[in-house]
């Protein structure tokens, strides 16, 4: 059994995630840049699906000590985060955002490559919880694997994603195994569907701010 929902073991995630998700390091740069514009001096941050804690490490280096909750449904991921961020005062929760809600508590809520493992009902619940967790005026940021609007577009997108992974150093067999998860373990939705869920959750401002290949970044302001 895998020790988390990604395609690689937790202790191999940092070394290999960029091979699976093209331009993954840019996600964090885009997030920090967006927070600087939307909430210039955040005092609190909730990262759901925190993985190995790399985003929070960068956020703390960028903005300084904050009230931080790091949540993930995989104990192995949280263990790595605890070690990586041992010098910071952080609250840890072994759960997904569909299970957690801290009403009106945080300036920033992030869910990076976390909700595409959820079915429609749980995805809606998770998004609503993230909305409720934000302070008024706070920003919610999510990056997800997406589904193009047409079947032909999906086929083209998956072919490009396969090629990118092989060029990044993964074996064709491991790439094929990963792509086979699309639509079964990975449950992507279109950007339009993402926007609809965010608006129905109550966000006053909803925008797509980054798209590349089969991944997109969106944000909402409460």
Mean pLDDT value across the chain = 94
CB neighbours of 158 closer than 8 A, spacing ≥ 6? Answer: 179, 182, 214
Going by pLDDT thresholds of 50, 70 and 90, the confidence category of residue 11 is confident
What's the sign of the alpha-carbon dihedral 91, 96, 100, 104?
positive
CB 10 within 8 A of CB 16: no
Q: State the pLDDT confidence band at 16, using cuts at 50, 70 and 90.
A: confident
Evaluate whether 24 touches 14 at the Cβ level (below 8 Å). no
Query: 3 or 132, which is more confident?
Result: 132
- Domains, the chain, in order of start with CATH, read 10-221 (3.40.50.150)
- pLDDT tens-digit series, residues 64-95: 999 999 999 999 999 999 999 999 999 999 99
Q: In what order do the strands lie in the sheet with 44-48?
A: 91-94, 67-72, 44-48, 106-112, 134-145, 215-221, 205-212
């Amino acid at each position: 059994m895998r020790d988390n929902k990604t395609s690689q073991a937790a202790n191999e995630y940092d070394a290999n995630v960029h091979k699976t998700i093209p331009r993954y390091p840019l996600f964090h740069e885009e997030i920090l840049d967006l927070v600087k514009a939307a909430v210039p001096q955040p005092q609190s941050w909730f990262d759901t699906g925190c993985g190995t804690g790399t985003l929070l490490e960068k956020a703390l280096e960028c903005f300084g000590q904050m009230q931080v909750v790091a949540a993930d449904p995989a104990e192995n991921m949280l263990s790595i985060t605890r070690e990586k961020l041992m010098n910071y005062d952080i609250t840890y929760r072994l759960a997904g955002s569909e299970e957690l809600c801290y009403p009106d508590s945080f300036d920033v809520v992030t869910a990076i490559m976390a909700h595409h493992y959820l079915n429609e009902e749980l995805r809606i619940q998770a998004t609503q919880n993230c909305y409720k967790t934000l302070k008024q005026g706070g920003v919610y940021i999510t990056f997800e694997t997406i589904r193009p609007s047409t079947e032909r577009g999906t086929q083209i997108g998956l072919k490009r994603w396969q090629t990118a992974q092989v060029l990044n150093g993964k074996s064709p067999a491991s790439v094929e195994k990963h792509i086979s998860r699309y639509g079964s373990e990975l449950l992507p939705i279109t950007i339009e569907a993402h926007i609809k869920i965010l608006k129905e959750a109550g966000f006053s401002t909803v925008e797509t701010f980054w798209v590349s290949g089969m991944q997109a970044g969106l944000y909402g302001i409460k």
